[in-house]
Structures are given as C-alpha cells and as structure tokens.
Amino acid sequence: MFEKLVIPQNTKFEERNIIVNGDVVIGANSKVDYGIIAKKILIGERTVINGDIIGDEVRIDALCTVKGNVTSKGDAYIGSFVNIGGKLTVYGDLEIGRNVRIRKGFEAKGLITVEDPLPILVFIFLYLIYLLNIKRVEEIEELFKDVEEFESPLIIPENSVVGIDRIETSKPIEITNSRVLGNIKAGDVLVYQSEIFGSVRGRNIIIDNSRIHGAVEGREVHVTNSSEVFGYVKAEKIYMEIGCIVEGGMIGKKGVWIIQKGVDNDLGKREVQKDVS
C-alpha cells in the first residue's frame, strides 16, 4: 500500500485543506501542513497534521499530533498519547487510548471505550499470522480483500512531507486528474491530466496531458499529450511530443527528442540539439 505516494483523481489542494472524494491513508512519521476532508481517514503513528480532520470514519494511531479539530461522522479510534489542539467530535462510537490530550474537549454521541486501540497495520499483521498458523486460506483472501477496500485513496507513505510549499517523499509519486499546490520532490513521477502549481523533481518523470507552473528536473523526462510546462525542463534525456509547450527552454545533457503525437518513445524519434532554448 505504501509503495508510492498517490494523489487520486479530483483531489483538491485548497488554502487550508486537502479535499479527497475517497479515503486517506497516511504512513507513520509523516507531516501534513493541511487539514484533511475525506471519507475514511487512517493516520499512522507519530504523524503531524497541521489542520482539521473531517471524515466519515477516523483512525489516528498513537503519538500523533493534530493541530486543529477532529470530526468523525461515524466511529473514531484515537490511540494513546495523541495530542489534539482543537475539539474532538464523534457522531458514532469512540475508542480512545490513554494519555490523550484534547485541548478544547470532546463530544461523542455513541459508546465511549477507554483502552489502547491496536494500530491498524499491527492488527492486520498479527491476524494474518494467526490465520496462517491455522491454515485458513479463505479467511486470508477475505482479509486482503477488506484491506484493499479503500475508495480512491490518497496515500502518503511513511516519512513523507505534504506541505504548502513542498511535497517530498523518497517513494514514487502518482498524480491523476487533480489540482496540486507545492514543489514536488520524489522518486519516479507520473502526472496525468493534472495541474501542478510548483516545480517537479524526480528520477524518471512523465508529464501527460498536464500543466506544470514551474521547472521540471529529472534523469529522464517525457512531456506528452499537449502538456504545458511554464518553466524549463532539465534532464539527462528529454522526450517531448509534438504539440506540447515548454516556455523556459530545454536542457538535455544526452539529448532532446521530438516525437510525433501518438508514437512510442522508442519509435520515430528525431534527435535535436542537446540544449534547446
């Protein structure tokens, strides 16, 4: 699940919040400088959220910090030593760990259970071991089916930063049909039918039917399908499809190729000069 950072279609980065039509899964030790509005929201241990959280179901693992309010329209699970800077409002059942600090108090409409909720990934791991020991293959398959039942999730891997000025992860990143604010730095990068207000830096980068309001730097860069880059493109190799626009010039240390629309990068390519401005 945490192999890459995924920004699903129709995700909106607004001034204070990230709005997701589906679910959100955030790995441990991450930092998000926005509030989050989504359906199911799962937040790993030691993560910092610098805004409000609003979801149909909310699970916050131990040692997390949420600077704003937390609102769950359904059930909520709050791990031990969580610090909430605003108010906690739960319209379903609340399972809460010990030593939780809630600055502005809490309100729960359903049953309140005070214990130490098991982190969701640890629970899945232990239950899987149990099923393997008793050789219940059908239940193992059903477990994985349930785990994968996230609706168009925004996935942020562990140790990532999603801030107003930058989005940074050591993993690949995939952005689909979304509007994103911030400079992106990741492994491989795929931007599809999206608009990025910031630069894009990574290893292998594909900009497809998208608009980039900043520079693009990578080892190998592909600009295709009527994409527009309102900055420069710099890479070892650059492949640009006819009909695309790069306003700031292109610097390809090993070459720049102009490709006919709809032609695979390995076919019909024509090498031009190594520096195009």
What confidence tens digit (pLDDT) does each residue in 197-223 have?
999 999 999 999 999 999 999 999 999
pLDDT greater than 70 at residue 273: no
Q: How confident is residue 261, by pLDDT bands cut at 50, 70 and 90?
A: confident
Tell which wins on pLDDT, 246 or 147. 246
Q: How confident is residue 15, by pLDDT bands cut at 50, 70 and 90?
A: confident
Q: Taking residues 180-198, report their average pLDDT.
A: 96
Decide if 146 is inside a domain.
Answer: no
pLDDT greater than 70 at residue 60: yes
Answer yes or no: do 11 and 109 share one domain.
Answer: yes
Answer yes or no: do 26 and 110 share one domain.
Answer: yes
Task: Report the percentage of the chain scoring pLDDT > 90.
Answer: 75
Q: How confident is residue 129, by pLDDT bands cut at 50, 70 and 90?
A: low
Decide if 80 is inside a domain.
Answer: yes
Q: Taking residues 20-43, report their average pLDDT.
A: 95
What does pTM read for this prediction?
0.83
**Which of 101, 133, 155 lies at the terminal end of a domain, its last residue?**
155
Say what the pLDDT of residue 268 is.
37
Q: Taking residues 173-177, report their average pLDDT.
A: 96
pLDDT greater than 60 at residue 277: no
Residue 53: strand pairing partners: 36, 70
Answer yes or no: do 112 and 198 share one domain.
Answer: no
Q: Taking residues 33-50, report their average pLDDT.
A: 96
Asked if residues 223 and 242 have their Cβ atoms less than 8 Å apart, the reply is no
Say what the pLDDT of residue 260 is.
87
Decide if 39 is inside a domain.
Answer: yes
Q: What is the mean pLDDT of the chain?
A: 86
The interaxial angle of helices 120-133 and 137-147, nearest 10 deg, is: 160
Tell which wins on pLDDT, 149 or 41. 41
Say what the pLDDT of residue 141 is.
52
Tell which wins on pLDDT, 254 or 271. 254
Answer yes or no: do 111 and 10 share one domain.
Answer: yes
pLDDT greater than 80 at residue 18: yes
Answer yes or no: do 103 and 197 share one domain.
Answer: no
Q: What is the count of structural domains for the chain?
A: 2
Q: Taking residues 68-85, report their average pLDDT.
A: 95
Say what the pLDDT of residue 66 is.
98
pLDDT greater than 60 at residue 33: yes
Q: What residue numbers bound the domain in which 61 lies?
A: 5-117+151-155
Asked if residues 109 and 91 have their Cβ atoms less than 8 Å apart, the reply is yes
Say what the pLDDT of residue 121 is.
56
**Which of 155, 177, 207 lies at the terminal end of a domain, its last residue?**
155
